[in-house]
Structure 1
């Protein structure tokens, strides 16, 4: 993979979700889980999505069960949980692994572009966030403890490059 836009992860129905459709948009990618202490961040992610989607922000959630088994459900169960509990309207794709030999290519690429705290490249826990600008470059990465509402300034700066 040479570009963000070459990536084609699977959606919740196991169909390719071609990242080329995201050209010109700012994208926030988050590994999510339904039974995590950070799960309440879904509400703030949805608030960001509602506020900035029309201006060019896309948010994509990737369910992951690698951290404490906190995302055990099927794709339908995850979708139902997100919708009923948090009104999630942004795409939540197929469940993946973010670390190790079976890490999804999206996360292999993201981690290669921006290391985490103290240079650690691996994902430490659920709800790590990557911000990709309108040109497909990772501009920032935040750990689980950073609430999505704290990302607004970075999102607004990235959105200045979006062509209306």
Structure 2
């Protein structure tokens, strides 16, 4: 199994097989527009701009499962991402990334790399950790499900899940891992 066994619906309504990205290094991210981590859109776009010509693609999957932080329609999500953050990487229609009705791609991703905890020293952790513990302790009962918005999965050029990064991992901290995978792409 690899991510190439899955597909998702793009914002334009087209069913996209992830096989279309074969040979590329991917970063698959569940996103939200009203989250303490929404600023990561801007950093993701910078990452996209830096590596897109080297075989790197970011795929964004909006989700409204975490404290109603992505209530907008797909059309509004796309326009806000473009206008507010200059997002040009592919966005897909809103999906579920955990629990019942989980999208099969995220079921596969979350079971491929376990949750290893949040960075407790990240500034937003001071808000996030008490929020989850108080309002959503059920999010923390297993070692695999997506715990919050902006969980990131790094995929190698063969479609295999290489690493999982939680929302408390800043985008700049992914660059060395991305560069290693880009260097490994056969020429």
Say yes or no: TM over 0.5: yes
Q: How far 1:121 moved relative to its partner?
A: 0.2
Aligned match of 2:161: 138
Q: How far 1:157 moved relative to its partner?
A: 0.4
Give runs of aligned pairs for residues 59-138 of structure 1, distance below 5 A: 59-117=58-116, 120-138=143-161
Q: What's the TM-score, normalizing by structure 1? A: 0.96
Q: How far 1:91 moved relative to its partner?
A: 0.5
1:124-154 CA-partner distances (Å, limit 9, x unpaired) = 1000000000011111001111111110000
| 2:174 counterpart of 1:151 | yes
**Aligned counterparts of 1:159 and 1:69: Cα–Cα separation in 2:** 35
Aligned match of 2:134: none
Q: What's the TM-score, normalizing by structure 2? A: 0.84
Kindly tell me the number of residue pairs found equivalent between the two proteins: 163
| 2:74 counterpart of 1:51 | no
1:82-133 CA-partner distances (Å, limit 9, x unpaired) = 0000000001101000001200011011012111116710101000000000
* Structure 2: 5+ residue stretches without partners: 118-141
SS state at 1:82 partner: helix
| 2:20 counterpart of 1:21 | yes
The structure with the larger Rg is: 2
**Aligned counterparts of 1:44 and 1:149: Cα–Cα separation in 2:** 8
**Aligned counterparts of 2:186 and 2:89: Cα–Cα separation in 1:** 21
Q: How far 1:12 moved relative to its partner?
A: 1.3
Q: How far 1:163 moved relative to its partner?
A: 3.3
Q: How far 1:78 moved relative to its partner?
A: 0.3
